[in-house]
Structure 1
Amino acid sequence: MTSQQLLLEGVELMFFGMGLVFLFLILLIFSIRVMSFVLERWAPEAGHVATAVAASTQHESAQVVDPDTLQAMQIAIKQHRARRG
C-alpha cells in the first residue's frame, strides 16, 4: 500500500467514525425527547407535589418540641457558631 492509499483509508475511517457518533447523538436526543414527552404526560404535575410538601412541612412545624431537645439544639448551634467564627 502506498502512503496515499493509507491516507485515504484513514480519512474514510474518520468519516465513518464521525458518522457513527453523529448517529448516536441524534438517537440520544430523540430518546430524551420521547422520555420527556412520556413523563410530562403521565407524571404528576410539580405544582401538586410542591403543595403537598409545603402542607406537610407546615404540619410538622406546628408540633411542640420537647424542652430537652430544644436545649440540645441550642447548645449544638452555639458550638457550631463558636467553631466557625
Structure 2
Amino acid sequence: MNITNLLEQGVELMLLGMGMVFFILGMLVFAIKGISAVIQRYEPVVEHSSKSSVSTDISEDIVTAITVAVQRFRSK
C-alpha cells in the first residue's frame, strides 16, 4: 500500500461518513417537522381566559403596608 492509496481511501471514507451524517440529520429534521404538523393538527386548542385565576381579596391593611414599605425603600 502506498501513501496515495491510503489518502484516497481516507478521503472517500471521510466523505462517506460526512454524507451519512448529513443525510441522517436531514431525515431527522423532516421527521420532526412532520410529527410537529401532525401533533398541531390533532391537539386541541387551549383558549386563555382574560380573567386571572389569582384571588384579588387582599385586605386594605396589607396594601397599605406594602405601599409604605415600597416608598421607604425607594427613598433610601
Q: Do Structure 1 and Structure 2 share a fold, with TM-score over 0.5?
A: yes
User: 1:60: how far off?
Assistant: 4.0
> Which letter maps to 1:20?
M
Q: Distance in 1 between matches of 2:71 and 2:31?
A: 48
Cα RMSD after superposing both structures: 2.7
Partner AA of 1:11 in structure 2: V
TM-score by length of 2: 0.69
Length, aligned pairs only: 75
Once the two structures are superposed, what CA deviation does each residue of 1:1-32 show, in whole Å capped at 9, x if it has no partner? 21101111111111111111112222211221
SS of the aligned residue for 1:44 comes to coil
Alignment of 1:24-39 (within 5 A): 24-39=24-39
Larger proportion of helix:
1
Q: Greater Rg, structure 1 or structure 2?
A: 2
Spell out structure 1 runs of 4+ moving beyond 4 A: none
**Residue 66 in 1 paired to residue 66 in 2?**
no
| Structure 2 unaligned residues grouped into runs of 5+ | none
Distance, in Å, in 2 between the alignment partners of 1:77 and 1:9 is 76
TM (norm. structure 1) is 0.63
Aligned pairs for 1:13-52 (under 5 A) are 13-45=13-45, 48-50=46-48, 52=49
User: Partners of 1:82 and 1:28 in 2: how far apart?
Assistant: 58
Question: What percent of counterpart residues are identical?
Answer: 33
